Amino acid sequence: MTNSADHSWTHAGHGLTDSEPSLNTTAIATGLQLPAGFAAIAEDAELGPAITTNLARVEKKLREAIANSDPLADATSRHLVEAGGKRIRPLLTLLCAHLGDASLPAVVQAAVVVELTHLATLYHDDVMDSAPFRRGAPTAHEVWGNSVAVLTGDLIFARASILVSELGSRALGIQARTFERLCLGQLHETVGPRPDEDPVEHYLSVIADKTGSLVAASGQLGAIFAGADEAYEDLLVEYGEKVGVAFQLADDVIDVTGVKVKSGKSPGTDLREGVPTLPVLFLRRDAAAGDQSAVDLLKLIDGDLTSDAALAAAVAGLREHPVTAESWVIARRWADEAIAALAPLPEGVVKSSLANFALAVVDRAS
- DSSP code, position 285: H
Render pLDDT for 229-268 as a digit per residue (tens, 0 to 9).
999 999 999 999 999 999 999 988 888 876 555 444 568 8
- Residue 17, pLDDT score: 37
Residue 31 lies in a domain: no
Count of structural domains within the chain: 2
The CA distances from residue 316 to 86, 156, 171, 259, 311, in Å, are 29, 39, 46, 11, 9
Which residue did the predictor score with more confidence, 327 or 261? 327
Which residue did the predictor score with more confidence, 73 or 84? 73
Choose the final residue of a domain: 228, 248, 275: 228
The dihedral of CA 61, 49, 241, 231: what is its sign? Answer: positive
Mark whether 182 and 295 lie in a shared domain: no
Mark whether 40 and 165 lie in a shared domain: yes
CATH of the domain at 150: 1.10.600.10
Mark whether 53 and 179 lie in a shared domain: yes
Mark whether 43 and 98 lie in a shared domain: yes
Residue 128 lies in a domain: yes
Residue 23 lies in a domain: no
Residue 233 lies in a domain: no
- Residue 26, pLDDT score: 53
Mark whether 223 and 316 lie in a shared domain: no
- Residue 273, pLDDT score: 82
- Residue 16, pLDDT score: 39
The pTM of this model reads: 0.87
Render pLDDT for 78-96 as a digit per residue (tens, 0 to 9).
888 888 788 999 999 999 9
Mark whether 41 and 157 lie in a shared domain: yes
Residue 86 lies in a domain: yes
Find the farthest-apart pair of alpha carbons in the chain and give their distance in angstroms, rounded.
76
Render pLDDT for 157-216 as a digit per residue (tens, 0 to 9).
999 999 999 999 999 999 999 999 999 999 999 999 999 999 999 999 999 999 999 999
Residue 280 lies in a domain: yes
CA distance 42 to 56: 14
Buried b (16+ CB within 10 A) or exposed e, 343-354: eebeeebbbbbb
Mark whether 189 and 43 lie in a shared domain: yes
Q: Which domain holds residue 345?
A: 256-365
Residue 17 lies in a domain: no
Mark whether 219 and 305 lie in a shared domain: no
State how beta strands 137-138 and 133-134 pair.
antiparallel
Mark whether 72 and 117 lie in a shared domain: yes
Residue 116 lies in a domain: yes
Mark whether 185 and 321 lie in a shared domain: no
For the chain, what percentages of helix, strand and coil (3-state, to nearest 5) are there?
70, 0, 30
CA distance 52 to 32: 7
Mark whether 199 and 261 lie in a shared domain: no
The CA distances from residue 292 to 22, 119, 289, in Å, are 64, 42, 9
Mark whether 269 and 178 lie in a shared domain: no
